[in-house]
């Protein structure tokens, strides 16, 4: 490796302590580094003065690795740009759960293994998400975790129809629905009653949120399916789409949210010999 980007979450990696420690270690091994923020921060937030910051979009092309210091949200913020540039991601957990992160904050000495090529790449499927309104695409996005459709008002429910390859699979009223990848199965989908799916699997999960019916259950579909969600009558209610926890898109009655397997895959770097089930036990026992 020649060039590595360090991407600290300023709200998690306080004072960039983890990022600075990794920078020192990598430079001692002759690696060129660049420090970039995964997202814009509040104007009043004070960043470390000695941090020389670069634009992530400018530095990703030609880089060998992106190291994120934070939780899963930090990886999600960076995953699209990294994936578009075919740059693998190594997560260092400075958050609470950190399911996608490979290292804990005290394990940065293992970066030497990465530099020396002692690692594997874990490819994760992603979903292409689009919103159609009156036959026209009005929004597109790329999901590593999930696409979530939810109601706006607390005391109201929305009507949703779920279609698989154009055939209606279920129709229900409730708080919303989650369309997730296996990576996202341990996030919001699991909290809503969805199944835990191995991250290397090739599936799309459909998890209703508080469905107002006895018979509506989560679905685990082949990744060859195209899943569509048709928004039913809303009246004065509102519905919103959020992809990987990003900015919400307001939905109207009749809108169609479409999810299908993307040609893009996020590449996560693995350096530790730990199974998915060991990870589940470790993370949830400590949560």
Q: Choose the catalytic residue: 13, 72, 141, 175.
A: 72
Three-state SS letters, the chain: CCEEEEEECCCCCHHHHHHHHHHHHHHHCCCEEEEECCCCCCCCCCCCCCCCEECHHHHCCCCCEEEEEECHHHHHHHHHHHHHCCCCEEEEECCCCCCCCCEEHHHHHHHHHHHCCCCEEEEEEEEEEEEEECCEEEEEEEECCEEEEEECCCCCCEEEEEEECCEEEEEEEECEEEEECCHHHHCHHHHCCCCCCCCCCCEEEEEEECCCCCCCCCEEEECCCCEEEEECCCCCCCEEEEECCCCCEEECCCCEEEEEEEEEEEEEEECCCCCHHHHHHHHHHCC
Task: Examine the residue annotation and report whether 58 is marked as an active-site residue of this protein.
Answer: no
Which active-site residues does the annotation give?
Answer: 72
């Amino acid at each position: 490796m020649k060039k590595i980007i360090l991407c600290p979450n300023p709200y998690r990696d306080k004072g960039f302590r983890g990022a600075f420690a990794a920078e020192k270690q990598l430079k001692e091994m002759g690696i060129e580094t660049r420090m970039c923020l995964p997202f814009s921060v509040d104007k009043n937030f004070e960043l470390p003065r000695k941090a020389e910051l670069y634009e992530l979009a400018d530095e990703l092309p030609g880089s060998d690795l992106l190291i994120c210091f934070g939780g899963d949200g930090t990886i999600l913020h960076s995953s699209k740009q990294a994936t578009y540039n075919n740059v693998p991601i190594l997560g260092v957990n400075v958050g609470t759960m950190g399911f996608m992160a490979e290292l804990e904050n005290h394990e940065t000495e293992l970066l030497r293994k990465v530099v020396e090529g002692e690692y594997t790449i874990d490819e994760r499927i992603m979903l292409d998400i689009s919103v159609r309104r009156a036959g026209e695409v009005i929004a597109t996005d790329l999901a590593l975790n999930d696409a979530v459709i939810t109601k706006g008002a607390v005391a109201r429910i929305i009507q949703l129809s779920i279609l698989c390859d154009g055939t209606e699979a279920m129709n229900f009223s409730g708080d919303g629905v989650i369309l997730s990848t296996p990576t996202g199965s341990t996030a919001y989908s699991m909290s809503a009653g969805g199944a835990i799916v191995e991250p290397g699997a090739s599936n799309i999960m459909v998890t209703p949120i508080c469905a107002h019916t006895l018979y509506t259950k989560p679905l685990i579909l082949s990744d060859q399916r195209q899943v569509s969600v048709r928004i039913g009558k809303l009246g004065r209610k509102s519905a919103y789409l959020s992809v990987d926890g990003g900015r919400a898109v307001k939905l109207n009655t009749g809108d169609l949210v479409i999810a299908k397997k993307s040609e893009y895959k996020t590449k996560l770097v693995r350096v530790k010999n730990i199974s998915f089930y060991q990870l589940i036990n470790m993370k949830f026992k400590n949560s």
